[in-house]
Structure 1
Amino acid sequence: MTTSGSKLLLIYTGGTIGMIREKDQGSLKAFNFDELLSKIPEIKLLDHKIDTLSFDQPIDSSDFGLIQYRELAQIIYDHYSNYDGFVVLHGSDTMSYTASVLSFMLENLSKPIIFTGSQLPIGDLRTDAKENLISSIQIAGLKQNGRPVIKEVGLYFEYKLYRANRTTKVNAEHFEAFDSPNYPSLIQSGVNLKVNYSAVKRVRKIKELVLHKDLEDQILLLKLFPGLNQKVFESLINIPCIKGIVLESFGSGNFKTDDWFVEGIRRKINQSVPVVNITQCSGGQVTMGKYYTSERLQKIGVISGSDMTTEATIAKMMFMLPKRLSMKVFKTIFEASLRGEVSES
């Protein structure tokens, strides 16, 4: 396994990691990423050829949407044949959403796309930015027998590389900001990089990269809570423009048993609006029909999100809705693993 000699593209989209603190006022501003090596001279020790590219207007991750997803995916697609891997610097707040969407937009991926960021600016004394960035570059350049070790979209933070579409942000203050509750880490960074080969994506045959730019964002995410009443529920699910609904249910997929709730969901499914059931719990999975409270909805065609994260579920729906599939085919494909986003039984 080698950790040198790769050609990598570093893409800055925005976020804390690309900021420096002005000495006089203490405010944060983005620095010129063409000067990256002068800010972090340790990167030279990695012996990689690193090019940098920044969004024309770096953006806070809270403002990311379809336009930015397409811009980022297009950049990677356009430069794909010229680089061995990519590192994307992104704000941590919605990093799991963007990384999950990219995993669906880029089909037949056989090179690493590593997302990373930081909780503190790169110029701060106690910053986590340098370690996250240096290790992400090292992982993106990691090869075995001349081929990349990582062949998927990953998210690196605080000594761990995760499959990106399995991650969620769990802490706004600690350096260990992300977790992958239902899938093991791909790499553990310590004195050496310890690769979990049983968890990383395997590519048996390299195929041409396919870019899917058609996405749909008219999606309702509804987190159930005790006391949700009929008027509020119906006012939300009956918004005319909604093309898909994601329900965060209780425990292993349990819902309210009121007739008005079940009938409301039935009407949307009959209108060819797919409804996906995922759990509010940080770990575990939905098991439709395990209890009576989910059995009724299973019978009317509610889709099981199994152990997918909210971020991956939204991303997958954005990706699949434009395909205009029948409800039966949509359900079958959604419940299957496309990019390793869900555990297969």
Structure 2
Amino acid sequence: MQQKILLVYTGGTIGMVKDSSSGVLLPFDLENLLDQIPKLHSINAEIDTISVPNPKDSADMQPSDWQFLGDLIYSKFMQYNGFVVLHGTDTMSYTASALSFMFSNLRKPIIFTGSQLPVGDIRTDALENVLTAIQIALLQENGNPSINEVGVYFDSHLYRGNRSTKISSDRFKAFSSPNFPALVTSGVSLKVNEPILLKPNINRATKFSHDLNTKVFLLKIHPAIDQLMFEQFCKFVDFDALILETYGSGTIFSQDWLLILLQKMQEKGKKIINCSQCVSGIVKQGIYEGSKQLNALGIISGKDMTTEAALAKTMYLLGQKSAENDFKMQFETDLRGELY
């Protein structure tokens, strides 16, 4: 039986066209985009296409869009062997991370891709990205999908979605996976790194959770933060969880007032998570003086997660209404291959 792939268009540079008078990139419709990729018809599979109602620049994507996209894919999950999502690059890793948590025991591939140049540009990277993403989604082993997770395919590499991050706005190598190897490398052939792939339970169905709690605030620690600034933030910003982007391996400045404010937040039931500002590496909370106090307070460690994954995982766990004392344990536990 011929395999079926659903190509979902959400917007982004890949589907834009340059206005001849202003030079500004404007949204393109899906049919015109497909006309620019005639080789789609040469793929030995049935490829259906669908566009979200209002395609967006990825900078405008919000958690409600993640929910809509997840619902769309889940509603058609039994009809297709895999899914390829065309998405803008700026927030692709956020969307891919979110869907990786919202889908549990994923038994089919959901591959995100896009491009740095519009599909109609003479030097576009869109053609290779889309065609190879579809080929990866079609990979099978003994009649079952080879890839059973959410991935980001860009510039010859398929990365685990919740391990990916955008690293460049002007190179074709727009994405990287600093703390985890590529799942698939594309050259003359597709080289699958089989030992590191997620393995679903074939006796259990794939499930999807629509619920997210978006009351999560991301705060980057920097040398100019003072007591008044932090006090005002705590007083006027409404959040259920705070992700601190700290220095290096999870260190922060040592000030008594900071520890007191963090403790007060915890006593009010706020979740506080420690992630590193560094692109690669791991939070080692407690090994340096600058993080001992965080460890003593029981601050949650983001370990080697990307910021995108930490944000999505926090929204997901809060949305599941995990028991108060289970949140830290679940966050620091690998759920979808997002941490070591």
The Cα shift of 1:66 comes to: 2.0
Note closer, same or farther for the CA distance 1:293–1:55 as it changes in structure 2 (3 Å cut): same
Residue number in structure 2 paired with 1:8: 5
Aligned AA (2:50): L
Please tell me whether the aligned partners of residues 96 and 168 of structure 1 are also in contact (alpha carbons under 8 angstroms): yes
Indicate the SS of the match to 2:106.
Answer: coil
The Cα shift of 1:44 comes to: 2.0
Aligned length: 340
Residues 75-133 of structure 1: per-residue CA shift (max 9 Å, x gap): 00000000000000000000000110011111121100000010000000000011100
Residue number in structure 2 paired with 1:299: 296
Indicate the SS of the match to 2:258.
Answer: helix
Residues 144-193 of structure 1: per-residue CA shift (max 9 Å, x gap): 11111100000000000000000110100000001100000000000000
Residues 11-47 of structure 1: per-residue CA shift (max 9 Å, x gap): 0001011123355664434333245553211122221
Residue number in structure 2 paired with 1:134: 131
Give the CA RMSD over aligned residues: 1.6
The Cα shift of 1:318 comes to: 0.6
Residues 221-256 of structure 1: per-residue CA shift (max 9 Å, x gap): 111112311111122233352110000111111111
Note closer, same or farther for the CA distance 1:240–1:122 as it changes in structure 2 (3 Å cut): closer
Residue number in structure 1 paired with 2:315: 318
Please tell me whether the aligned partners of residues 89 and 117 of structure 1 are also in contact (alpha carbons under 8 angstroms): yes
Residue number in structure 2 paired with 1:41: 38
TM-score, structure 2 normalization: 0.96
Aligned AA (1:63): D
List aligned pairs for 1:221-236, cutoff 5 A.
221-236=218-233
Residue number in structure 2 paired with 1:90: 87
Please tell me whether the aligned partners of residues 107 and 210 of structure 1 are also in contact (alpha carbons under 8 angstroms): yes
List aligned pairs for 1:1-345, cutoff 5 A.
5-22=2-19, 26-34=23-31, 36-343=33-340
Q: Structure 2: any 5+ residue segments left out of the alignment?
A: none
Please tell me whether the aligned partners of residues 70 and 213 of structure 1 are also in contact (alpha carbons under 8 angstroms): yes
Q: Percent sequence identity over matched residues?
A: 45
In the alignment, the residues of structure 1 paired with residue 67 and residue 273 of structure 2 have an alpha-carbon distance, to the nearest angstrom, of: 24
Indicate the SS of the match to 1:281.
Answer: coil
In the alignment, the residues of structure 2 paired with residue 310 and residue 40 of structure 1 have an alpha-carbon distance, to the nearest angstrom, of: 34
Please tell me whether the aligned partners of residues 99 and 153 of structure 1 are also in contact (alpha carbons under 8 angstroms): yes
Indicate the SS of the match to 1:161.
Answer: strand
In the alignment, the residues of structure 2 paired with residue 187 and residue 151 of structure 1 have an alpha-carbon distance, to the nearest angstrom, of: 13
Q: Structure 1: any 5+ residue segments left out of the alignment?
A: none
In the alignment, the residues of structure 2 paired with residue 110 and residue 158 of structure 1 have an alpha-carbon distance, to the nearest angstrom, of: 25
